[in-house]
Every structure is written in C-alpha cells, then in structure tokens.
Structure 1
C-alpha cells in the first residue's frame, strides 16, 4: 500500500520576492503546511518564528553553513558552523539540515578529497546523533547550475554515506539535479531509498514548475510512495506562471 509524501515549499526560491510573512501566507493558500529555506544566518529568525506560528506551519529543513568538506583545512570551521546550525535548528524545531560539500580542488587527487569528505562527515556524526538532527548531503549538477562542484553523481554520494555509516547522515536526492547529471531517477531512488533523507524537485529544463519539462513527476512520486520513505519532498524552483498557487496545489495532490 502506498503512503503519502509530505510537500515542503522552499520560500527562498518559490516566493523569494516576498516577505517571510507574505510567503507563509502563500504557502497556506497552496494547501501546504511545511516550508523550507536556504540560509538561516541572513533571516530575521524572530519574524520567521512568528510567521510559522501564526500560520500553523512547520519547517522541514534549512542549510548548514556553506563551508567545504573536501578541504581538510576547513574541517574545524565546518564543524563549528554545523554546531551553530544545530542550535538554530533546535530553536526552530527543524529536524533536517542540508549540507553541500564544496567545489573540487584543482591539483588534489579526487580520492583524497573524497576521503576528506568522509572524514568530515564522520566527525560530524556525534554532533548530529546527540541532537537527533539529520544532515542530508546534496549532490548537484555541474552541467547547468554548479560548475566545479565536487559531488555530482548519486552513486558516489550513496557510497560516501555508506562509509560514514551514521543513521543521522543521509543524501538529499534532488530529482532535478540528478536528472541532469545521470538520469535513471526512479531506478537510482529505489535502489538507495534507505539512504535518502530528503527530496528536492523542479522541472527540467528551466528549473520551473514540476508540470513543465521532461520529468514525469507523477510517476516518480508514485514510485517513492511505494517505498518505506516517509519524509518531505521540497519544491525548490522559480515559478514562470502568473499564479504559482495553481501549480503548487496540483503537485500537493500528486504527493497525497
């Protein structure tokens, strides 16, 4: 029997031109009860808490600080930023933090950078396990959006997570990014569902509404609903229609 998926709207992307309060109002209009956002350090956290409380919303996730994990010289800085982010997540009742890993360092063997990433996440694991917060590591595409980024393919991301072997460190599987990087989205999701802690979704090409482009999202979501996954699907895109609420409501129905 299939289960529901939980929609979460990235207000920095979908409603980035609005105030926090106005963005949260739009989320409610879309029949969605969760938001997410990128950086917490440039937000008015008091205003965010007020809006979330006023509109009875939850926060699915936000990012930890953008510090490279592939450079071992920055590891202590990364861990300090993670500790700060954990404290904010606890204040906001956020259970998931998103981590990117940094750009590929020219002149350093890839295997060495991958090991630094594994070592850094292993050092982060006790902080996360003690706090009960899950860190999701995000592969990104380098063909369109993130040229030079280290972690591109999901198979390498899943291998890293297996080696770290912490229940509180998983992969953020961004369907848009992985369609560009490698395709075979449903197969890769189903083979690794136990290591996925969050999803992102956008139409491709264009990174607009899920209704546009080559990805058959109803079928992708149906496949996910047949697995053990119980978490969120973050809607992270830039609307191109005049009324984004219509598209958001339709996607919410797909996830239900």
Structure 2
C-alpha cells in the first residue's frame, strides 16, 4: 500500500499543506529551477518538503532543487480546484506527474476480494477507475495505481488469479480508451499487508502478461519487493517487459536511500543501463524531521543519481 495513504501518513501530511491560494501559485510559477536537474525523474510527494508551505509551494521548492516529477497518491480525493491548481503548477515547472491511486482496498474491512467471483466488488473497482480518469486528465497523469485486493481463503488461488485477470482486462479497456496505464502494485505481507492478493513482482508479471494489454502493467515498489522476496535486480531484469513504474523506499523503515539495506546505487546504475526514462516515486518518509530531513533527502538522491 502506498505509505502516505495510511492514517499515520495522513496525520503527517495534514495541516497547513492544503492551501492553494493565488500567492502560493505565483510562487510556484515564478522561476526556473535553480539547481541542476536530476538525471532521473525522481518524484517527491506532499510532505517530502513539508516545511516549505502548501502543496503548490512544495512543488515549486522541489522544482528549484532539480526534481522533474511529482507523485500524489491521494490526488483523486482532492477537490477539483486543487487538482487543477496542481496540474497548472506542474505544467508551469515542466514536471511530470507520477502515479495517482485509482483503486485501493478498504484496509479496515479486508475488501475487495476480486477473486471471489463477486461481480459487485469487481464492478466497484472498475467504477473507481472510471472516476479517476478525469483526475488523471487534469494532472496530465499517465499512470494510475491499482491494488488488486485481498486473498479469499475459500477460493483456490488459481481460480482467484483467473478472475483477477478477467477484471483487469476490463479495467485495461477503460485505461486504454483514455490513453492511461494502470500499474498493479504488489505489496508485502510480512511487515505491512497480511493477506493481500498480489505480493510479488513476478506475480504481477504473470497477470499483466495474461491480460496482454499495454494499458495494464506492474508498479515495482522496491520497499515491498525487498521485504517480500529480495533479489531485486534479477527480478527487475526478468519482469522488465511488464514493469511501467518504479518506487523507492529503503528497508527497514521505509525512508530515503542509504538508511537501510537496499543498494540504490546499483539499482540506479541498472536503470540507467536500461535507459529508463519513467518516473521513480519517492515512496517513503524522511529519516530526520524538519528542514534537516529535507536537506538529507535531497543529498541522498544527489548521491545515488551520480551512480
């Protein structure tokens, strides 16, 4: 699950960050970046630079530090005026919009069970995707995240897999008609999400391959992948044809690179060798509070970007 959708993450990101007044927008649009651009499209999110003010001011600050992308899992839940303001700020700064969440499970209810055969649950997920299309257009977004629900203990895994392939084919048709790509996110069951259905990148690869629609791909969140199975670079290599989006987050702690066990230097080298030009979501928190943490975040990404 994207970390900044949890209640604890919401509490960190809440408060004064929602303002999108004219003054905030003017500051966001006033100038070009004043730092060298990163060579890869690392994408901060609201809260990465919380001390800098509103969401629009954070986008401006990120651009001034050389970031060329932005990510907002919760974009679909924001008022239309906020979506439009954010899209305008990103366009003004020449920044690429990363993922927004199109369909997310109800974590407190352990639903949906998309493989159960319950058509109503499948239809509800498809309705979420349809509602998110207009949000993506306001933000010039290309990718939308889908989490494929929970395991049904009453149904054999192979049957659940077949049913999820079928519903993702329907979802892929919606995305394709609107020029979008749905990225299915595998999540770990060991630390964060017990009983989630899709739990490894190879499992996502198998479903995306079976769906056989370029509008249905896999989101490789390396924090989840490291916990669940490790073996990151060989897994990326094997499944690369079905991976359309990357997210970073070190383990343990889900913080910036160099705080845990993942060798982000080698992963960045591998991605550059692959000529990856997509977005890399900075799907993690900061290891230090306040501006010291924000400075540390930038330094960590400068270090791995030089790999």
**Contact map agreement 1:210 1:217 (CA 8 A) in 2:** yes
**Contact map agreement 1:134 1:168 (CA 8 A) in 2:** yes
Separation of aligned partners in 2, 1:158 and 1:236: 21
How is 1:24-103 mapped onto 2 (pairs within 5 angstroms)? 24-54=59-89, 56=93, 57-67=95-105, 68=112, 69-73=114-118, 74-103=121-150
**Contact map agreement 2:116 2:155 (CA 8 A) in 1:** no
**Contact map agreement 2:75 2:100 (CA 8 A) in 1:** yes
TM-score calculated relative to the size of structure 2: 0.76
The structural deviation recorded for 1:190 is: 1.2
Kindly tell me: are residues 26 and 142 of structure 1, through their superposed partners in 2, closer, same or farther at Cα, counting changes over 3 Å? farther
Kindly tell me: are residues 72 and 19 of structure 1, through their superposed partners in 2, closer, same or farther at Cα, counting changes over 3 Å? farther
Aligned positions, number: 252
**Contact map agreement 2:43 2:67 (CA 8 A) in 1:** yes
**Contact map agreement 2:265 2:304 (CA 8 A) in 1:** yes
Kindly tell me: are residues 227 and 220 of structure 1, through their superposed partners in 2, closer, same or farther at Cα, counting changes over 3 Å? same
- 3-state SS in 2 of match to 1:240: coil
**Contact map agreement 2:43 2:68 (CA 8 A) in 1:** yes
TM-score calculated relative to the size of structure 1: 0.90
> Unaligned 5+ residue runs, structure 1?
none
Separation of aligned partners in 1, 2:64 and 2:246: 22
Q: Which protein is bigger by CA-based radius of gyration?
A: 2
How is 1:1-256 mapped onto 2 (pairs within 5 angstroms)? 4-11=39-46, 14-15=48-49, 19-54=54-89, 56=93, 57-67=95-105, 68=112, 69-73=114-118, 74-241=121-288, 242-252=292-302, 254-255=304-305
CA deviations over 1:153-173 (Å, ceiling 9, x no partner): 221111111100111111000
The structural deviation recorded for 1:30 is: 3.3
Higher relative contact order (CA 8 A, sep 6+): 1
Deviates more, 1:215-224 or 1:242-251: 242-251
> Unaligned 5+ residue runs, structure 2?
1-38, 106-111
